Structure 1
Amino acid sequence: MIMDIGINETNRIQIAEGLKKLLADSYTLYLQTHNFHWNVTGPQFRELHLMFEEHYTELAVAVDDIAERIRALDVAAPGTYKEFNSLSSIEEVAGITEGKQMVEILIKAHEQVIRTCRDVLKLAQEADDESTASVVSDRMLVHEKTAWMLRATSK
């Protein structure tokens, strides 16, 4: 059955490809944040441990929303580490345990997700895809606020 939601197939696929990158960035950030939650050390342990938990819990819902938007555009959502690794703009890190360094890494990662959001938002706006624009705009707002809070923590 041919999909007819008012967005042509070329635009639908371009938007879905952008959303795949956003999903990969978001999932990589989720894993990174969860890892930092488990392994944080230092004088801010309790504060960061709890804050990271809030962040990864929010990201768990976000990745589902993004994947479901990809599916609503009738495109298969990526779902493996291999796919996420090839699509993500966020570099994975290992062996970090000091809280201050974790915060700095997470700031950069959230800022990358914001840039990815902006790219996808442009595609959605050009195609009059308000549903995707809404999802992406909401994500961008969360990541901008989170990056701000992390920056405030690092001062």
Structure 2
Amino acid sequence: MSTNTSVVEKHHPTVSANTGILPKNSEAVALILNTLLSDEQVLYAKIRNYHWNVEGPSFMELHKFYESMYEAIADQIDDVAERVRKIGHFAEGRLKDFIELSHLEEGEYTKDPREQQKNLLDDHETITRFIREHVDEIADKYRDAGSNDFLIGVMKEHEKWAWFLRAYLG
């Protein structure tokens, strides 16, 4: 992930949100949320890639599994972007900004189910660790209980997908 905050700094709230969060705090939270949004977008693209390109004896099962995963991630992407807007900031929406902010790598093409599952497990766990690293800070330092609560829910979803993938990997 880039440590350059220029991606977020170039965006300003369309209307100041008067929700009791200091502007400097909502800006810091927006950067965290936009980083998460970027991770979710990269993960979504990777899951779609795997959905289209998986091969092997479990093709249909994995094809459907990946479809359920990317549909859930698509909903999550929308929720994260809307959370950024709720606290008064623009949600990132350009691919180059997603790549700049994301912790995740797109990775090489692979049709191997085990390699795909290992890659996705690593991504879900990376996102889980990122959220866990910031939830207390968002609640305590930035005084944004709403974003804290929201992120805990997102973290639980990534923990669930990681569990499913670990079960596949045995």
Report the TM-score when normalising by structure 2. 0.87
| Aligned 8 A contact 1:15 1:123 in 2 | no
Instruction: Tell me the equivalent position of 1:152.
Output: 167
**Alignment partner of 1:129 is 2:155:** no
Query: What is the alpha-carbon distance in structure 2 between the residues aligned to residue 147 and residue 50 of structure 1?
Result: 17
* Shift in Å, 1:137: 0.7
Query: What is the alpha-carbon distance in structure 2 between the residues aligned to residue 111 and residue 41 of structure 1?
Result: 24
Query: What is the alpha-carbon distance in structure 2 between the residues aligned to residue 122 and residue 24 of structure 1?
Result: 21
* Shift in Å, 1:128: 2.9
Query: What is the alpha-carbon distance in structure 1 between the residues aligned to residue 136 and residue 16 of structure 2?
Result: 25
Query: What is the alpha-carbon distance in structure 2 between the residues aligned to residue 108 and residue 2 of structure 1?
Result: 37
| Aligned 8 A contact 1:41 1:97 in 2 | yes
* Shift in Å, 1:2: 4.5
- Segments of 5+ residues of structure 1 without an aligned counterpart are none
**Alignment partner of 1:45 is 2:59:** yes
Equivalent in 81, 84, 88 of residue 74 of structure 1: 88
- Segments of 5+ residues of structure 2 without an aligned counterpart are 1-14
RMSD: 1.2
Q: How many residues align?
A: 155
Report the TM-score when normalising by structure 1. 0.95
CA deviation map 1:98-149 (0-9, x unaligned):
1111000000000111112123312321133222112211110010011011
**Aligned letter for 1:143?**
H
**Aligned letter for 1:95?**
Y
